[in-house]
Amino acid sequence: MRRARWIVATLEGAVRPVIYHCMSRVVNREFVLGDVEREKFRTLMRIYEAFSGNRVLSYCLMSNHFHILLEVTPMPENGISDETLLQRLRAIMPESTVDLIAAELAGARKQVASGHADPSLVAKIHGRYTYRMHNLSEFMKGLMQRYTQWHNRTHQRSGRLWEDRFKSVIVEDGDASKTMAAYIDLNPVRAGIVKDPADYRWSSYGEAVGGGAKGNGKTARAGLVRALRGHRGVAADASFWKHDVSREYRRMLLAGAVERSDARVSRTGEVEIKPTRKGMSIEQMNREKQRLERKLEAFSYGKMLRCRVRYFTDGAVIGSKAFVDKMFLDSRQRFSSKRKEGARKLRGSASAANGILWSARDLSVRI
């Protein structure tokens, strides 16, 4: 039997949103997702986002695979109202079907009010649909199945479209979520399709930059705001995008795009910073060195994002050391008794994130 997916129900003792990086490839990695196909996939993704109550923070649709950074939100403590339920159902069902469900709910409410039925009657009607909401597996299942049906019908094919089940990695909000968002948006840059991620149409950043003030452009900006500011309690509000969020994210995306002339590689293979001493006091030289060190750190991090980082798709959990250790302890049964702690250092192409991000899995550097 294959191992059960690692799903987090609670964080820090309270029900909170949980972020997952989800990824899947087409069977045999065939390049079958053209412009029309990617547009259809994005439309369905937004439909299931509206239905499920989850939030797409970042995404990128490529020719043979996709990435989605999904925030799975908890169901409200007292459930959702009839009005909210019907509104969400309209995203995936015909209006005629929703009208029938609305009539059924209205009839059940009348029976409860008259004392002829128990309140559980209404709860049962809600339960037929709400089990698919605020849920990672149901979101991905609905999206991938719905797209496969459309793709097979459109291209007159049958059978499985996606390679095995989708991968998912638990992502901490803060440094981990904004790093993962940037890694996802840089997919077309790594593939050599564009030099500037803003020029790629089927990604959250391309949509955020190129989209209008309303619709999906606004939705994409709201998702990225949440990815970068969620750890500060900022909601998915597109109005924050035009402030410092868009500038910070663009700096992150473009960091490492070009070499710095004030840094060089030594004979031993280490990067050195050598600020000029000419015309500088010792204090000025120290300040300049600190400035260049900060630039070099950002450059190294940016270079990492332009490499394939297997930890981001196979690391199980990505976040701070404390976060990964907590996830490890909360799911101790998933690991052997010999393992004593959860957090693992990132190596290889991900080593620039050492001390900032940690993984729940050790991965081979050469793979």
Domain boundary, last residue among 256, 271, 287:
256
Instruction: Give the count of beta carbons closer than 10 Å to the beta carbon of residue 71.
Output: 21
pLDDT at 58 over 80: yes
Asked if the structure places residue 178 within a domain, the reply is yes
pLDDT of residue 271: 45
Mean pLDDT to the nearest integer, 212-223:
84
Most confident residue range from 286-290, 295-299, 313-317, 360-364: 313-317
- Which residues face 22 on adjacent strands? 68, 168
* 8 Å CB contact between 217 and 208: yes
Are 143 and 284 members of one domain?
Answer: no
Residue 159 belongs to domain with CATH number = 3.30.70.1290
Mean pLDDT to the nearest integer, 23-31:
95
Are 153 and 205 members of one domain?
Answer: yes
What's this model's pTM, rounded to 2 decimal places? Answer: 0.86
Are 52 and 148 members of one domain?
Answer: yes
What are 127-154's pLDDT values in tens digits? 999 999 999 999 999 999 999 999 999 9
- Which residues face 359 on adjacent strands? 318, 344
pLDDT of residue 2: 61
Instruction: Give the count of beta carbons closer than 10 Å to the beta carbon of residue 305.
Output: 25
More confident residue, 359 or 284: 359
Are 140 and 123 members of one domain?
Answer: no
- Of 135-144, 176-185, 188-197, 284-293, the least confident: 284-293
Instruction: Give the count of beta carbons closer than 10 Å to the beta carbon of residue 225.
Output: 25
Are 235 and 118 members of one domain?
Answer: no
Asked if the structure places residue 111 within a domain, the reply is yes
For the chain, what is the radius of gyration of the CA atoms? 23
Are 139 and 247 members of one domain?
Answer: yes
pLDDT at 288 over 70: no
Question: What is the rounded distance in angstroms from the CA atom of residue 182 to the CA atom of residue 303?
Answer: 12
Question: What is the rounded distance in angstroms from the CA atom of residue 120 to the CA atom of residue 108?
Answer: 10
Asked if the structure places residue 314 within a domain, the reply is no
Question: What is the rounded distance in angstroms from the CA atom of residue 165 to the CA atom of residue 334?
Answer: 19
Question: What is the rounded distance in angstroms from the CA atom of residue 36 to the CA atom of residue 67?
Answer: 18
Confidence of residue 79 (pLDDT cuts 50, 70, 90): very high
Are 145 and 191 members of one domain?
Answer: yes
pLDDT at 43 over 90: yes
pLDDT of residue 263: 47
What are 314-364's pLDDT values in tens digits? 999 999 999 999 999 988 888 888 888 889 999 888 888 888 999 999 887
What are 234-267's pLDDT values in tens digits? 999 999 998 789 999 998 998 766 433 444 445 4
Asked if the structure places residue 337 within a domain, the reply is no
Asked if the structure places residue 229 within a domain, the reply is yes
| Helix 82-89 and helix 95-114, axial crossing angle in degrees, nearest 10 | 160
Provide the residue range defining the domain that includes 90: 82-130
Question: What is the rounded distance in angstroms from the CA atom of residue 88 to the CA atom of residue 56?
Answer: 16
Domain boundary, last residue among 115, 130, 145:
130
Are 177 and 293 members of one domain?
Answer: no
Asked if the structure places residue 312 within a domain, the reply is no
More confident residue, 361 or 284: 361
pLDDT at 12 over 80: no
3-state class of 273 per DSSP?
strand
What are 158-182's pLDDT values in tens digits? 999 999 889 999 999 999 999 999 9
pLDDT of residue 307: 85
Asked if the structure places residue 317 within a domain, the reply is no
- Of 8-17, 273-282, 346-355, the least confident: 273-282
Q: Give burial (CB, 10 Å; 0-12/13-18/19+) of 82.
A: middle
Mean pLDDT to the nearest integer, 53-71:
97
Mean pLDDT of the chain: 87
Are 200 and 290 members of one domain?
Answer: no
- Of 41-55, 102-116, 267-281, 303-317, the least confident: 267-281
Confidence of residue 291 (pLDDT cuts 50, 70, 90): low
Are 153 and 283 members of one domain?
Answer: no
Asked if the structure places residue 53 within a domain, the reply is yes
pLDDT of residue 214: 67
* Tokens 């070099």 belong to residue: 296
Alpha helices in the chain (DSSP H): 35-52, 82-89, 95-114, 120-130, 136-154, 175-185, 187-190, 204-210, 215-229, 246-254, 282-305, 311-314, 321-330
- Which residues face 21 on adjacent strands? 69, 169
Domain boundary, last residue among 130, 147, 166:
130
Q: Give burial (CB, 10 Å; 0-12/13-18/19+) of 265.
A: exposed
* Tokens 């309303």 belong to residue: 214
Q: Which two tokens stand for residue 319?
A: 């976040």
Our count of domains for the chain comes to 3
Are 143 and 126 members of one domain?
Answer: no
Are 226 and 158 members of one domain?
Answer: yes
